[in-house]
Amino acid sequence: MRKGIFWSVGILAIILVAITIRVLYIQFQDRQVEQAQQQFVQDRTPTLFLHGYSGTINSMKYLVNVAEDHRVTQDVVIAYVNRDGDVTFEGKMSKNAINPIIQVVLEDNTQVDLNENALWIRNVIEKLQQKYHIKDFNVVAHSMGNVSFAQYMLDYGSDRTLPQLKKQVNIAGTFNGVIGLNEEFNEIQVDRNGKPSRMNPPYQEFMQLKSVYKGKQIEVLNIFGDVLDGTHSDSRVSNSSSKSLKYLLGDSPKRYKELKYEGDEAQHSALHHNPEVANDMIRFLWSK
């Protein structure tokens, strides 16, 4: 009899502890959500994440995960683009999605035709427009993803029937070349305005971006890395190549800001796994 009573009391105590833990956890979650609402804009503008040459779903995943961990958003959609440019969404944006993230993954991730890449980006944006009626968007791009997006803006940035760009974060941009491809270490310099001492294709064509960005109130954060080995590069892309974006855009953006990171975590492929980069990206895109 006593054993039965003790057993019942023990079970009841375990249940009460479990309920208490659950309630405390829910309260903790609610506090985190409330803090995020106070800290970050509550906006329906989606942010596209674009990987670089030979990139995969894992390339930008760390940055996306950090944004989720900070409660910036609870809505992450993967947009797969096949070799024909067809777009398939994995996941969906909720009806009242806040700061949704769209991670773009290209099946043909070694495509060097920038016009083709630009078309694929447009296909993603158009499908978001059709399915979710978006009116604007942000973008975060790494490496070659930056010039693919620059080509998108050149080809489609003046089309007012498409959603309009609000903010962009460029990471390790290859605007005026890549080390070992069309530039050597310390070969090209930029002046205070970002003008390079030599312009590699397609940089000259990108000069038209200044007029595309003019008057659109676009905000730009340009991130690049220096591994501090004397090459003034992130080991793959020279700082001059990344910084040359400033000359391309001139005074057209509403705001233009550069951030330089140094050391091992500033290496080309390490930049999109760098906690400081993630935090600066979050502040730029979503902080109130």
Low-confidence residues of the chain, pLDDT below 50?
none
pLDDT tens digits, residue range 77-128? 999 999 999 999 999 999 999 999 999 999 999 999 999 999 999 999 999 9
| CB neighbour class for 66 (10 Å; exposed up to 12, middle 13-18, buried from 19) | middle
What 3-state DSSP class applies to 47?
Answer: strand
Task: From 195, 182, 249, select the one nearest 222 (Cα to Cα).
Answer: 249
> Which pLDDT score, from 0 to 100, does residue 24 have?
59
Region of 71 on the Ramachandran plot (φ > 0 left; ψ -120 to 50 alpha; else beta): left
Q: How far is CA 166 from CA 29, 150, 169, 176, 251, in A?
A: 30, 14, 11, 24, 16
| CB neighbour class for 103 (10 Å; exposed up to 12, middle 13-18, buried from 19) | buried
What 3-state DSSP class applies to 48?
Answer: strand
Cβ atoms of 45 and 73 within 8 Å: the answer is no
pLDDT tens digits, residue range 135-151? 999 999 999 999 999 99
Q: Rounded to an integer, what distance in angstroms lies between the CA atom of residue 247 and that of residue 175?
A: 11
Cβ atoms of 129 and 79 within 8 Å: the answer is no
Tokens for 173? 């941009």
Tokens for 66? 């950090």
Q: Rounded to an integer, what distance in angstroms lies between the CA atom of residue 59 and that of residue 240?
A: 23
Task: From 68, 17, 18, 28, select the one nearest 77 (Cα to Cα).
Answer: 68
Cβ atoms of 155 and 206 within 8 Å: the answer is no
In the numeric block, the tokens 């969906």 are attached to: 92
Q: Rounded to an integer, what distance in angstroms lies between the CA atom of residue 164 and that of residue 96?
A: 20
